[in-house]
Amino acid sequence: MKCSVHQMRALKHGLVTLALLCSIGALAWLSVRYPLQTDITGNTGNTLSMATQKLLISLPDKVEITAYIKKAQPIRLQIAQLVDRYRRHKPDVTLQFVDPDEQPEKARELELGVEGAVIIDYQGRTEKLKFVDESSLSNALLHLAHAGQRWVSFLGGHGERSPEGAANFDLGRFGKELARRNIKALTINLATLPTIPDNSALLVIAAPAVPLLAGEIEIIKRYIRDGGNLLLLTEPDNPHLDAVLQQLGIRTLPGAIIDSSTRLYGIDNPGFVLAGTYPAHAVTRGLQIITLYPVTAAFEHKQTGDFHSETLLSTETGRITPDSRHNPHDPLVFGLTLSRDVGKTDQQRIVVVGDGDFLSNTYLGNVGNLDMGLRMINWLIHDDSFIDIPAKTATDKNLQLTQTAVAVIGFGFLIVIPAALVGTGFIVWRIRQRR
């Protein structure tokens, strides 16, 4: 029995359709089995950093993440997407969502608060995060793997910038960022304490507004002689830390740095100093974003004692006002690191910056200031492995189009695309009519 032409054509079309469906099914299976993804965001915001990937490879045990977030909250999707990136490199990372309203006793036990929290469990130890991004989650995992408690002391009592303060010049936002990474900030007053607490990994002195007492200065000097780590933030024409700086061989140049190159970035105030290139140092390793420093003092440094000093921040285009004897062709240094070996295994680390505003509530969110501050703290407390995990922030949040671009887009969507669809349909219709 011979098949008709129509039957042969139908069989042929059926086989082609079946082959096409099989191909689509095979491609779908392959896409699940071997997923291929490309991150086209400007700051690779959807890709884990190399530091995080190396961290995940080094963790031998299972990681359990429990997010106590109310139902129907958009943050759930963001957390799930973030954890999914971790699973690509470590499949035994688990995520569970729990509505705190359904477990009120557990919520009270964990002191979750109305906004909820994320609990990370690893090797029987837990970490609680109120805010979750790659930097905070990876640092939490790294901290759990090392299981060390980190305390940082902030000097108070002299109008310093406070890690709990909400004023524009305070460091409250920075203090919260430290807390998210389980770095505990404690304000101390040396007028009531005979010494820096032994459990403090670092002393921070953030631009005192009034002179320190002679006894307080002696306590700080003794702390430095004994090998204590120090972050010292000063300001132009602030003499209250001169005695401490002199011990380190540092002199603050009179006046403030003026950097006219900031106009290239749309900043009209020449008192702002930008740093975009950094020396080869553990603090700035891999840092490729500019940092902003308002009202900055410059330093002169001479080698003293057994400290090894390195330039951390400098500007090639700045000058000092009022006019001084500084050679305008010489770079102005406004950030220094000092280190020396203490005993056989320990190393003392000190960072001195000529500006305290860059970590203040007003300027912390500008460009890479938060990242720089966290890098300094991590290096100073010997958490070097934490430094390479960036605190990513979204870039280009606003889309700004010219009137021409808006007109082209509008013309394309309203006229060109519909006309193309109508034209394509007409051509297909004409072809079928001719058969």
CATH number at residue 120: 3.40.30.10
Domain check: are 223 and 77 in the same one?
no
How many structural domains is the chain composed of? 2
Q: Please give the single-letter amino acid code of residue 429.
A: W
Structure confidence by residue, pLDDT tens digits, 136-167: 888 788 878 875 567 899 999 999 999 999 99
Structural domain containing residue 70: 50-142
Structure confidence by residue, pLDDT tens digits, 74-126: 889 999 999 999 998 999 999 999 998 888 888 888 777 777 889 999 988 78
- Report how far residue 417's alpha carbon sits from residue 376's, in angstroms, rounded to the nearest whole number: 53
- Report how far residue 208's alpha carbon sits from residue 189's, in angstroms, rounded to the nearest whole number: 12
Domain check: are 111 and 161 in the same one?
no
Domain check: are 175 and 322 in the same one?
yes
Highest mean pLDDT among 26-40, 219-233, 284-298, 328-342: 219-233
What pLDDT is stored for residue 371 in this prediction? 85
**Which of residues 90, 113, 142 is at a domain's end?**
142
Contacts of residue 109, defined as CB under 8 A and 6 or more positions apart, other chains included, come to none
What pLDDT is stored for residue 298 in this prediction? 92
Domain check: are 113 and 155 in the same one?
no
Token output for 332: 């102005």
Residue 105 in domain: yes
Residue 80 in domain: yes
431 vs 214, more confident: 214
What pLDDT is stored for residue 390 in this prediction? 62
Domain check: are 207 and 123 in the same one?
no
**Which of residues 104, 124, 142 is at a domain's end?**
142
Domain check: are 237 and 160 in the same one?
yes
- Report how far residue 238's alpha carbon sits from residue 44's, in angstroms, rounded to the nearest whole number: 41
Domain check: are 166 and 183 in the same one?
yes
Residue 296 in domain: yes
Residue 5 in domain: no
Would you place residue 207 in the very low, low, confident or very high pLDDT band (cuts 50, 70, 90)?
A: very high
- Report how far residue 381's alpha carbon sits from residue 185's, in angstroms, rounded to the nearest whole number: 13
Domain check: are 57 and 192 in the same one?
no
Domain check: are 215 and 307 in the same one?
yes
Share of the chain above pLDDT 90, in %: 37
User: Does the structure show a pLDDT above 90 at 274?
Assistant: no
User: Does the structure show a pLDDT above 90 at 258?
Assistant: no
Average pLDDT over residues 339-364: 91
Domain check: are 201 and 269 in the same one?
yes
User: Does the structure show a pLDDT above 70 at 181?
Assistant: yes
153 vs 180, more confident: 153
Between 199-203, 264-268, 277-281, 396-400, the lowest mean confidence (pLDDT) is in 396-400
Residue 435 in domain: no
Average pLDDT over residues 211-236: 94
Residue 32 in domain: no
Domain check: are 161 and 268 in the same one?
yes
Q: Are 330 and 261 in contact (CB under 8 A)?
A: no
- Report how far residue 182's alpha carbon sits from residue 32's, in angstroms, rounded to the nearest whole number: 37
Classified as helix, coil or strand, 395 is: coil
Residue 121 in domain: yes
What pLDDT is stored for residue 39 in this prediction? 64
Q: What CATH number corresponds to the domain at position 283?
A: 3.40.50.880
Average pLDDT over residues 255-283: 81
Average pLDDT over residues 261-280: 78
User: Does the structure show a pLDDT above 60 at 395?
Assistant: no
- The candidate with the shortest Cα–Cα distance to 288, out of 271, 276, 299, 298, is 276
What pLDDT is stored for residue 129 in this prediction? 81
- Report how far residue 104's alpha carbon sits from residue 112's, in angstroms, rounded to the nearest whole number: 10
**Which of residues 116, 142, 168 is at a domain's end?**
142
pTM for the whole structure: 0.65
Domain check: are 96 and 176 in the same one?
no
119 vs 180, more confident: 119
Residue 268 in domain: yes
